[in-house]
Amino acid sequence: MDVLADFLPIVLRGMLVTVVLSLSAMVLATAIGLVGAWARLAGSTPVKALALIYTVVVRGMPPLVLMLLIYFGGQTALNAAADAMQVEPIRIEPFTAGIVSVGIIFGAYLTETFRGAYLGIPQGEIEAGVAFGMPTLTLARLVVLPPLMRLALPSFWNIWLTLVKACALVSVIGLQDAVYAALSIGRSTREPFTFMLVVAALYLAYTGLSDLVFRRLGRHLARGTRAASV
Protein backbone atom coordinates (compact mmCIF):
# COMPACT_ATOMS: atom_id res chain seq x y z
CA MET A 1 0.00 0.00 0.00
CA ASP A 2 2.96 2.31 0.73
CA VAL A 3 4.14 1.98 -2.85
CA LEU A 4 0.72 3.06 -4.06
CA ALA A 5 0.74 6.16 -1.83
CA ASP A 6 4.26 7.08 -2.96
CA PHE A 7 3.55 6.96 -6.67
CA LEU A 8 -0.11 7.99 -6.76
CA PRO A 9 0.70 11.71 -7.31
CA ILE A 10 2.55 10.87 -10.54
CA VAL A 11 -0.44 8.93 -11.89
CA LEU A 12 -2.76 11.77 -10.86
CA ARG A 13 -0.54 14.29 -12.65
CA GLY A 14 -0.76 12.05 -15.73
CA MET A 15 -4.54 12.05 -15.42
CA LEU A 16 -4.48 15.85 -15.31
CA VAL A 17 -2.72 15.77 -18.70
CA THR A 18 -5.54 13.54 -19.98
CA VAL A 19 -8.23 15.89 -18.64
CA VAL A 20 -6.68 19.04 -20.14
CA LEU A 21 -5.95 17.22 -23.40
CA SER A 22 -9.47 15.83 -23.76
CA LEU A 23 -11.15 19.15 -22.98
CA SER A 24 -8.93 21.12 -25.40
CA ALA A 25 -9.32 18.49 -28.11
CA MET A 26 -13.11 18.53 -27.69
CA VAL A 27 -13.17 22.33 -28.13
CA LEU A 28 -11.10 21.98 -31.33
CA ALA A 29 -13.23 19.05 -32.54
CA THR A 30 -16.44 21.02 -31.95
CA ALA A 31 -15.07 23.95 -33.98
CA ILE A 32 -13.99 21.60 -36.79
CA GLY A 33 -17.35 19.80 -36.58
CA LEU A 34 -19.36 23.02 -36.93
CA VAL A 35 -17.28 24.21 -39.88
CA GLY A 36 -17.40 20.71 -41.41
CA ALA A 37 -21.18 20.48 -41.05
CA TRP A 38 -21.53 23.90 -42.64
CA ALA A 39 -19.26 22.77 -45.50
CA ARG A 40 -21.24 19.55 -45.99
CA LEU A 41 -24.56 21.43 -46.04
CA ALA A 42 -23.91 24.79 -47.64
CA GLY A 43 -20.47 24.70 -49.25
CA SER A 44 -19.81 24.85 -52.97
CA THR A 45 -19.44 21.50 -54.75
CA PRO A 46 -15.65 21.13 -54.25
CA VAL A 47 -15.95 22.18 -50.58
CA LYS A 48 -18.74 19.65 -50.07
CA ALA A 49 -16.62 16.94 -51.68
CA LEU A 50 -13.60 17.82 -49.52
CA ALA A 51 -15.70 17.70 -46.35
CA LEU A 52 -17.16 14.35 -47.38
CA ILE A 53 -13.71 12.89 -48.08
CA TYR A 54 -12.50 14.17 -44.70
CA THR A 55 -15.30 12.49 -42.76
CA VAL A 56 -15.14 9.22 -44.71
CA VAL A 57 -11.34 8.88 -44.48
CA VAL A 58 -11.03 9.85 -40.83
CA ARG A 59 -13.98 7.75 -39.66
CA GLY A 60 -12.62 4.79 -41.60
CA MET A 61 -9.19 4.67 -39.95
CA PRO A 62 -8.37 3.67 -36.38
CA PRO A 63 -7.66 6.68 -34.11
CA LEU A 64 -4.30 5.10 -33.23
CA VAL A 65 -3.21 5.07 -36.89
CA LEU A 66 -4.39 8.65 -37.39
CA MET A 67 -2.48 9.83 -34.32
CA LEU A 68 0.73 8.26 -35.64
CA LEU A 69 0.06 9.61 -39.14
CA ILE A 70 -0.68 13.16 -37.99
CA TYR A 71 2.23 13.24 -35.52
CA PHE A 72 4.96 11.76 -37.76
CA GLY A 73 3.49 12.84 -41.11
CA GLY A 74 2.81 16.35 -39.79
CA GLN A 75 6.39 16.70 -38.54
CA THR A 76 7.76 15.46 -41.89
CA ALA A 77 5.55 17.93 -43.76
CA LEU A 78 6.66 20.79 -41.47
CA ASN A 79 10.31 19.86 -41.98
CA ALA A 80 9.85 19.80 -45.75
CA ALA A 81 8.10 23.18 -45.64
CA ALA A 82 10.87 24.63 -43.46
CA ASP A 83 13.50 23.26 -45.85
CA ALA A 84 11.73 24.82 -48.81
CA MET A 85 11.58 28.20 -47.08
CA GLN A 86 15.12 27.74 -45.68
CA VAL A 87 14.13 28.39 -42.07
CA GLU A 88 14.72 26.42 -38.88
CA PRO A 89 12.07 23.63 -38.70
CA ILE A 90 9.51 23.82 -35.90
CA ARG A 91 9.38 20.78 -33.61
CA ILE A 92 5.84 19.70 -32.73
CA GLU A 93 5.37 19.22 -29.00
CA PRO A 94 3.64 15.89 -28.19
CA PHE A 95 0.97 17.76 -26.24
CA THR A 96 0.10 20.01 -29.19
CA ALA A 97 0.23 17.02 -31.51
CA GLY A 98 -2.14 15.18 -29.15
CA ILE A 99 -4.70 17.99 -29.10
CA VAL A 100 -4.50 18.51 -32.88
CA SER A 101 -4.74 14.82 -33.80
CA VAL A 102 -7.56 14.00 -31.37
CA GLY A 103 -9.32 17.21 -32.48
CA ILE A 104 -9.03 16.31 -36.18
CA ILE A 105 -10.21 12.72 -35.57
CA PHE A 106 -13.30 13.59 -33.57
CA GLY A 107 -14.04 16.69 -35.66
CA ALA A 108 -15.01 14.22 -38.39
CA TYR A 109 -17.47 12.40 -36.13
CA LEU A 110 -18.91 15.71 -34.90
CA THR A 111 -19.30 16.96 -38.49
CA GLU A 112 -21.80 14.15 -39.04
CA THR A 113 -23.45 14.84 -35.66
CA PHE A 114 -24.01 18.53 -36.37
CA ARG A 115 -25.12 17.85 -39.95
CA GLY A 116 -27.71 15.37 -38.73
CA ALA A 117 -28.89 17.73 -36.00
CA TYR A 118 -29.24 20.62 -38.45
CA LEU A 119 -31.33 18.46 -40.77
CA GLY A 120 -33.57 17.71 -37.77
CA ILE A 121 -34.53 21.35 -37.29
CA PRO A 122 -37.92 22.08 -38.88
CA GLN A 123 -37.16 24.08 -42.01
CA GLY A 124 -40.14 26.38 -41.35
CA GLU A 125 -38.44 27.83 -38.27
CA ILE A 126 -35.42 28.93 -40.31
CA GLU A 127 -37.66 30.28 -43.09
CA ALA A 128 -39.63 32.24 -40.50
CA GLY A 129 -36.40 33.79 -39.23
CA VAL A 130 -35.40 34.75 -42.77
CA ALA A 131 -38.87 36.18 -43.37
CA PHE A 132 -38.43 38.36 -40.28
CA GLY A 133 -35.33 39.80 -41.92
CA MET A 134 -32.89 38.41 -39.33
CA PRO A 135 -29.21 38.90 -40.15
CA THR A 136 -27.41 35.56 -40.61
CA LEU A 137 -25.63 35.71 -37.24
CA THR A 138 -28.82 36.51 -35.33
CA LEU A 139 -30.57 33.71 -37.19
CA ALA A 140 -27.81 31.29 -36.24
CA ARG A 141 -27.78 32.39 -32.59
CA LEU A 142 -31.52 32.61 -31.94
CA VAL A 143 -33.11 30.12 -34.31
CA VAL A 144 -30.59 27.48 -35.33
CA LEU A 145 -28.29 27.03 -32.33
CA PRO A 146 -30.79 26.23 -29.53
CA PRO A 147 -32.49 23.29 -31.27
CA LEU A 148 -29.17 22.25 -32.85
CA MET A 149 -27.60 21.83 -29.41
CA ARG A 150 -30.58 19.87 -28.13
CA LEU A 151 -30.69 17.54 -31.15
CA ALA A 152 -26.92 17.05 -31.25
CA LEU A 153 -26.57 16.30 -27.53
CA PRO A 154 -27.05 12.50 -27.45
CA SER A 155 -24.48 11.94 -30.19
CA PHE A 156 -22.18 14.68 -28.82
CA TRP A 157 -22.27 12.92 -25.44
CA ASN A 158 -21.34 9.57 -27.02
CA ILE A 159 -18.51 11.09 -29.03
CA TRP A 160 -17.16 12.83 -25.93
CA LEU A 161 -16.95 9.48 -24.11
CA THR A 162 -15.21 7.90 -27.11
CA LEU A 163 -12.81 10.87 -27.27
CA VAL A 164 -11.93 10.55 -23.58
CA LYS A 165 -11.14 6.88 -24.04
CA ALA A 166 -9.14 7.58 -27.23
CA CYS A 167 -6.99 9.96 -25.16
CA ALA A 168 -5.61 6.86 -23.40
CA LEU A 169 -3.72 6.15 -26.66
CA VAL A 170 -1.65 9.37 -26.66
CA SER A 171 1.31 7.73 -24.93
CA VAL A 172 2.16 6.23 -28.35
CA ILE A 173 3.17 9.71 -29.55
CA GLY A 174 5.25 10.32 -26.44
CA LEU A 175 2.75 12.09 -24.18
CA GLN A 176 3.27 11.33 -20.50
CA ASP A 177 -0.33 10.69 -19.53
CA ALA A 178 -1.79 8.42 -16.84
CA VAL A 179 -1.33 5.26 -18.92
CA TYR A 180 2.32 6.11 -19.53
CA ALA A 181 2.85 6.83 -15.82
CA ALA A 182 1.16 3.58 -14.75
CA LEU A 183 3.23 1.55 -17.23
CA SER A 184 6.57 2.95 -16.12
CA ILE A 185 5.75 2.89 -12.39
CA GLY A 186 4.34 -0.61 -12.75
CA ARG A 187 7.57 -1.75 -14.35
CA SER A 188 9.83 -0.29 -11.66
CA THR A 189 7.68 -1.30 -8.65
CA ARG A 190 6.69 -4.70 -10.12
CA GLU A 191 3.07 -3.85 -9.46
CA PRO A 192 1.74 -3.12 -12.97
CA PHE A 193 -1.77 -4.40 -12.19
CA THR A 194 -2.24 -2.11 -9.19
CA PHE A 195 -1.31 1.04 -11.06
CA MET A 196 -3.19 0.17 -14.25
CA LEU A 197 -6.25 -0.53 -12.08
CA VAL A 198 -5.88 2.96 -10.58
CA VAL A 199 -5.87 4.39 -14.13
CA ALA A 200 -8.99 2.37 -14.99
CA ALA A 201 -10.71 3.72 -11.86
CA LEU A 202 -9.70 7.30 -12.73
CA TYR A 203 -11.13 6.93 -16.25
CA LEU A 204 -14.31 5.42 -14.84
CA ALA A 205 -14.64 8.40 -12.49
CA TYR A 206 -14.03 10.81 -15.37
CA THR A 207 -16.60 9.20 -17.67
CA GLY A 208 -19.06 8.85 -14.77
CA LEU A 209 -18.69 12.55 -13.94
CA SER A 210 -19.19 13.43 -17.64
CA ASP A 211 -22.42 11.42 -17.62
CA LEU A 212 -23.70 13.48 -14.68
CA VAL A 213 -22.83 16.77 -16.40
CA PHE A 214 -24.40 15.71 -19.72
CA ARG A 215 -27.56 14.46 -18.02
CA ARG A 216 -28.03 17.90 -16.40
CA LEU A 217 -27.18 19.62 -19.67
CA GLY A 218 -29.73 17.47 -21.48
CA ARG A 219 -32.45 18.49 -19.01
CA HIS A 220 -31.43 22.15 -19.42
CA LEU A 221 -31.49 22.02 -23.23
CA ALA A 222 -34.77 20.12 -23.31
CA ARG A 223 -36.65 22.79 -21.34
CA GLY A 224 -39.68 23.96 -23.27
CA THR A 225 -39.97 20.67 -25.18
CA ARG A 226 -42.09 17.68 -24.37
CA ALA A 227 -40.73 14.16 -24.65
CA ALA A 228 -42.81 11.62 -26.55
CA SER A 229 -44.65 9.51 -24.01
CA VAL A 230 -44.68 5.83 -24.78
Partner 1 sequence: MYAWQVALDHIPLFLTGLRNTVLLLVVSTIIASVFAVPLALVLTRKMPVAAPIIEAVSYVFRGTPLIVQVYLLYYGLAQFAFIRTSVLWPWLREAWTCLLIAFSLGTCAYLVQILRGAIEAVPHGEVEAARAVGMTPFQTLRIVVLPNAFRRALPSYENEIIFLLHATAIASLVTVIDLVGAGRNFNTIYYFTYEGFAIAGVIYLAIVGVIRLSFGLLERRLLVHLRRAGI
Q: Does 72 bind partner 1 (CB under 8 A)?
A: yes
* Residue 193 sits in the site that holds partner 1 (CB under 8 A): yes
| Shortest distance (Å) from residue 61 CB to partner 1 | 5
| 103 contributes a contact to partner 1 by CB under 8 A | no
Note whether 154 binds partner 1 by CB under 8 A: no
> Residue 172 is which amino acid?
V
Give the binding-site size for partner 1 (rule: CB under 8 A). 40
8 near partner 1 (CB under 8 A): no
The only residue of 16, 31, 49, 61 in contact with partner 1, by rule CB under 8 A: 61
Supply the DSSP string of the chain, one letter for each residue. Answer: -HHHHHHHHHHHHHHHHHHHHHHHHHHHHHHHHHHHHHHHHHS-HHHHHHHHHHHHHHHHS-HHHHHHIIIIIHHHHHHHHHHHHTSPPPPPPHHHHHHHHHHHHHHHHHHHHHHHHHHTS-HHHHHHHHHTT--HHHHIIIIIHHHHHHHHHHHHHHHHHHHHHHGGGGGGGT---HHHHHHHHHHHHT-HHHHHHHHHHHHHHHHHHHHHHHHHHHHHHTTT--PPP-
Taking a C-beta distance cutoff of 8 angstroms, is the pair 70, 100 a contact? yes
200: contact with partner 1 by CB under 8 A? yes
Q: Which of 14, 36, 63, 103 binds partner 1 (CB under 8 A)?
A: 63
- Report, in Å, the least distance between residue 129 CB and partner 1: 31
Is 89 a binding residue for partner 1 by CB under 8 A? The answer is: no
Q: Which of 96, 174, 207, 213 binds partner 1 (CB under 8 A)?
A: 207
Residues 161-190 interacting with partner 1 (rule: CB under 8 A): 161, 164-169, 172, 179, 182-183, 186-187, 190
Q: Applying CB under 8 A, which residues contact partner 1?
A: 57, 60-66, 68-69, 72-73, 75-76, 161, 164-169, 172, 179, 182-183, 186-187, 190-194, 196-197, 199-200, 203-204, 207-208
